[in-house]
Chain A
Amino acid sequence: MKKRILLVEDEKALCLLYEEELSREGYAVTAVTDAEAALAELGKAAFDLIVTDIRMPGKNGIELITEIMGLRKDIPIIINSAYQSYKEDFMTWAADAYVVKSASLDELKAKIKQLMGE
């Protein structure tokens, strides 16, 4: 059975790109564009990993992951942000990895594999 990833990314073009690339890697990807939709998906299905952006309209990614931690702590989380500066916020420690967005998705894919134990 395919492992499931919940992808939270507010930029629609990037969301489509990640969804396509990660599906090609063999994962079942559920993509949403805001934190509220992510929390709704978490209530409906079981996921093996979450990838989330930080800067998003509404709740940001840090608020999202702290809320997820209040519900359950067993799903690995990767922060995927264009900004290094959020590393200074210790609430990002709720995540298991912090990847700075780049043109290549190699680092993100490697972190996913590592956290999935592949």
Chain B
Amino acid sequence: MMSELRKDLVSGRWVIIATERSKRPDDFRPGGGTARAAEPVGFCPFCDGNETKTPPEVFALRATGTAADSPGWKVRVVPNKFPALNRGTPPPKPANGIFQWMEGTGVHEVVIENPDHALELGDLPVRHIQDVFRVFQQRIKAIEEELHYQYVQLFKNKGKEAGASLSHPHSQIVATPIVPKRIKEKIYGADRLFRNFKECAFCRILQEEAAAEERQVVRNRHFSVIAPYASRFPFEMAVYPLRHSPFFTDVRDDELMTLAETMKSILTRLKETIGDPPYNLILHQAPNPSLSLEGWPEIEKNFHWHLEIFPILTKVAGFEWGTGFYINPVPPETAAKFLRQP
């Protein structure tokens, strides 16, 4: 079978699905990458008991009667101790001239997902995963409402190859004074498609994927997980809410419970299918709703929040950097088939 060029409907990005050198899950088992970052020698600043080594917590779910910045927490959020962007008033607009610049203001917080160094997100009980996602919601909402940054990005790097410098399970939240390019590409793509389809392009994709079934990994009462048609990476997955909403912060508590069950299920499947790979998890949602959205008046109708998970099993090199194309040696239909297996 020939390789295929496939286009991502929303972003317009092309990928090469290299079917003739298609790989199986066993080809990616450890040796190609492991989830563990370098282990600290006897010390981890995120572990229970080392709270004084982090900046004071901005939020924590903790046992009644325990003091802030002491043991007894379940999920803990702290500002980055040595941030790249400094907290401050977002600058109004980029300075003029052909080389634009702004003051480096922003917010960078670390969500420590549990006190145990060895328990990864997918290993936690569903209730705990729900708490982690509830904390994500609360922090994103607080940053949006209090600090007026244009965009708040949630992401998780698991494993050294995915960019994690510490293996203690954590996620990061970075707020920026501008809407990042990748988000704008999706917003503009979704807007263009909304005018063609007369409905949200993401909702349309979910209908098509439900009918086709071959790229569907999980579908339950609130969420659908698919291996995207133009997946950039082997075993890439996208998690979409079935209820249309541009904002992750809108997710209701019952939906949050299903999201936790869904995450537990797919992270477990990933681990069982390809052996605990390093991965990145990212959230894409519409820009800060507490600011004016007049720049994108239709965004509530045409954008649809989602999570993307991409295991780091292949290398991004010159061809990808030069062209924006990605080469994926595992067709998403094959990936979904393996990920669906109980």
Contact = CB atoms under 8 A, between A and B. Distances in A.
Contacts of A87: 82-84
A67 B41 contact: yes
A91 interface: yes
Contact of B166 (A69, A91, A98): A91
Contacts of B41: 63, 66-67, 70
B82 A67 contact: no
B204 interface: no
A58 to B, nearest CB: 14
B45 A70 contact: no
Interface residues of B, number: 18
Contacts of B165: 88-91
Contacts of B81: 92-93, 98
Interface string A26-65: 0000000000000000000000000000000000000100
Interface in B77-118: 81-84, 110
A94 interface: yes
A89 B165 CA distance: 5
28 contacts: A66-B42, A67-B42, A69-B42, A69-B53, A70-B41, A70-B42, A70-B43, A73-B43, A73-B50, A73-B53, A84-B84, A87-B83, A88-B84, A88-B165, A89-B165, A89-B166, A90-B45, A90-B110, A90-B165, A90-B166, A90-B170, A91-B38, A91-B45, A91-B165, A91-B166, A93-B45, A93-B53, A93-B81
Contacts of B110: 90
A94 B45 contact: yes
Given A63-B41, A73-B53, A91-B40, 7 more contacts: A66-B43, A73-B50, A87-B82, A88-B165, A90-B45, A90-B166, A93-B81
Interface string B30-55: 00000000101111011000100110
Contacts of A67: 41-42
A54 B294 CA distance: 47
B54 A93 contact: yes
A66 B38 CA distance: 12
Contact of A69 (B38, B43, B54): B43
A52 to B, nearest CB: 15
Query: Which of A93, A94, A98 lies at the interface centre, i.e. has the most chain B CB atoms within 10 A of its CB?
Result: A93
A60 to B, nearest CB: 11
Contacts of B166: 89-91
Interface of A: 63, 66-67, 69-70, 73, 84, 87-94, 98
A66 B53 CA distance: 12
Nearest to A100: B82
A98 B82 contact: yes
Contact of B53 (A63, A84, A94, A98): A94
B161 to A, nearest CB: 15
A55 B83 CA distance: 20
Contacts of A70: 41-43
Contacts of A89: 165-166
A78 B227 CA distance: 46
Contacts of A66: 40-43
Nearest to B163: A88
Nearest to B78: A93
Interface string B44-68: 0110001001100000000000000
Nearest to A70: B42
Contacts of B45: 90-91, 93-94
Q: List the 7 closest pairs (A to B, CB-CB), nearest first.
A: A70-B42, A69-B43, A93-B45, A87-B82, A89-B165, A90-B166, A98-B82
A66 B166 CA distance: 12
A92 B43 contact: no
Contacts of B42: 66-67, 69-70
A111 to B, nearest CB: 12
B109 to A, nearest CB: 13
Contacts of A63: 41
Nearest to B38: A91
Nearest to B168: A90
Contacts of B46: 90
Contacts of A88: 84, 165
